[in-house]
Structure 1
Amino acid sequence: MPMHIDEQDSHLLQSIQRLGGASVQQLCDELQVTATAVRQRLNRMQGQGYVQRESVPQDRGRPVHCYRLTSKGLRSLGDESGDLAVLLWREMSSIEDDVLRTRVAARVREALVARLRQQLPAVEVNERIDQLCAALEQRGLVVERRTGDSEGDLPIIREYSCPYHDLATVDPMICELEKSVYEELLGAPVELSACRLDGHTCCDFQIGVPS
């Protein structure tokens, strides 16, 4: 599940990176807070995958724990990928040549499908739905599979968080692209029956019977 980086978290990560790795005491001196406060924040950030701990041997006494940023932690500092994605999508959508624009959009769709396809080895649609939900959760999304109350109701992939939030607020067509990616991955028709852009609290992708 994605975690919000508040200002204090950001200051902690910046200090660790600026120091090239830091001990609890170094962070206490840098941030002017107590060791208890630093440890609590480090434990939480470590649990969220932003920080890793290493043991550094000393000439005397016990090793000292040194905290460094993980790849995720580094990405959280100055990550402008969301803005870049919006700019690229706008440029693609503004291509005047219909054939070229369609071709570029198809390549984007193919790349999104390829990124997930290897995580869906099952043949049967119901198993592939479960595998798709698991793959999306691994990418930090809050997703669940839902089944209707009545017998024969179609399964639903419910997304409580949007993987393309910034893009969707600019161009709702990204929702159609996401739907078509799921159709390709599942080998079954998919309908976007609820969307956050329409005021719903989640996006529901209703899975139909394979044609």
Structure 2
Amino acid sequence: MTTTQQSSTKQDILQYLLKQEQAIAHALAEALDISPQAIRRHLKDLEAEGLIEYKSVSMGMGRPQHVYRLSKKGRDRFPNHYGEFAVSLLDTLEETVGRDQVSTILQKQWERKAMEYRQLLGEGSLAERVAKLVELRQSEGYMAEWYPVESSDASQQTHNQFILKEHNCAISNVAESFPSVCGHELEMFAAILPDCQVERTHWINQGEHQCGYLIQAK
């Protein structure tokens, strides 16, 4: 295997753990279609680089299994468009004009972003607009995806409820220092989908491995 192939496989492992939160070596090998021996070599390298960590979990009568997940350093490998500069800028603004004024500025920013999204989403079906929203978020560095909510009754499958997931936060540094931006994100999604009710189901800032939203037609 070439160095480029090894690098690509390691990135695939990191992306899988980002989406699934955690996995054992065997599951990773099956998902990525490589041998258990190869996956263990990659996991050992990633652990040495500080990008992943593991805990030993007993599974039945056999030996404990190593369950792998991303470390904070591993999460930081994924796109973060604003980073420390944005946090520093907001800190400077807070010192200059006060936290209330910074909150007003952030609110104006999401309102402007909402107007931009509304124009780009158009007037299609709810599924088409959610798909376009996810595409826009992906272009901004979010590892986003969406899917319809399955009905418990197969004969009554719903077409007006969707889950939007973001497996990373492209503005994580900002969100940690100014958590109000997460509230603005929720308000923004509701504003660009005015015919829907939008609820947060998961939140990275509360220790969960993704941000998730339930979008349902009113």
TM-score (norm 2): 0.51
**Aligned partners of 2:100 and 2:209: how far apart in 1?**
36
Partner of 1:125: 126
Residues 152/135 of structure 1: CA separation in 2 closer, same or farther (3 Å cut):
closer
Residues of 1 paired with 2:119 and 2:169: CA distance?
22
Is 1:203 paired with 2:203?
A: no
Task: Name the % identity.
Answer: 21
1:115-148: CA deviations, max 9, x gaps? 4334312343322111101111222321111333
CA separation in 1, counterparts of 2:214 and 2:96?
32
Secondary structure of 2:145's aligned partner? strand
Shift of 1:184: 1.6
Please tell me the residue identity of whatever aligns with 1:154: Q
Q: Distance in 2 between matches of 1:102 and 1:173?
A: 8
1:181 aligns with 2:182: no
In structure 2, the partner of 1:155 is 162
Correspondence 1:63-102 to 2 at 5 A: 81-91=82-92, 100-101=101-102
In the alignment, structure 1 segments of 5+ residues that lack a partner are: 1-35, 42-78
Residues 92, 104 of structure 1: 8 Å contact kept: no
Gaps of 5+ in 2: 8-79, 152-157
Q: CA RMSD in A?
A: 3.7
2:81–2:140: 8 Å Cα contact kept in structure 1? no
Taking structure 1 as the reference length, the TM-score comes to: 0.53
Cα pair 2:93 2:102 within 8 Å, conserved:
yes
Q: Go from structure 1 to structure 2 and tell me whether the alpha carbon gap of 1:172 and 1:98 turns closer, same or farther (over 3 Å shift).
A: closer
Asked if 1:193 corresponds to 2:201, the answer is yes
**For 1:81 and 1:164, how far apart are their aligned partners in 2?**
6
Question: Compared with structure 1, are the counterparts of its residues 152 and 120 closer, same or farther at alpha carbon in structure 2 (3 Å cutoff)?
Answer: closer
Using the TM superposition, give the Cα deviation of residue 93 of structure 1 relative to its aligned residue in structure 2, in angstroms: 5.5
Residue 99 to residue 173, structure 1, CA distance change in 2 (3 Å): closer
**Per the alignment, do residues 108 and 91 of structure 1 end up closer, same or farther by CA in structure 2, a change over 3 Å counting?**
farther
Q: Judging changes above 3 Å, is the alpha-carbon distance between structure 1 residues 204 and 141 closer, same or farther for their aligned structure 2 residues? A: same
Separation in structure 2 between the aligned mates of residue 122 and residue 170 of structure 1, nearest angstrom: 36
Counterpart AA for 2:217: V
Write out per-residue CA displacement over residues 2-37 of structure 1, whole angstroms, 9 at most, x where no aligned residue.
xxxxxxxxxxxxxxxxxxxxxxxxxxxxxxxxxx97
Instruction: Tell me which residue corresponds to 1:137.
Output: 138
Q: Is the 8 A contact 1:164 1:174 kept in 2?
A: no
Distance 1:127 1:159, change over 3 A: same
In 2, Cα distance between the equivalents of 1:117 and 1:153? 19
Greater RCO, CA 8 A, separation 6+: 2
Deviation at 1:166, TM superposition (A): 0.8
Does 94-103 or 84-93 show the bigger shift? 94-103
- Give the direction of change, closer, same or farther, for the CA distance of 1:154–1:108 in structure 2 (3 Å limit): same
Asked whether the 8 Å contact 1:125–1:187 carries over to 2, the reply is no
In the other structure, the counterpart of 1:105 is 106
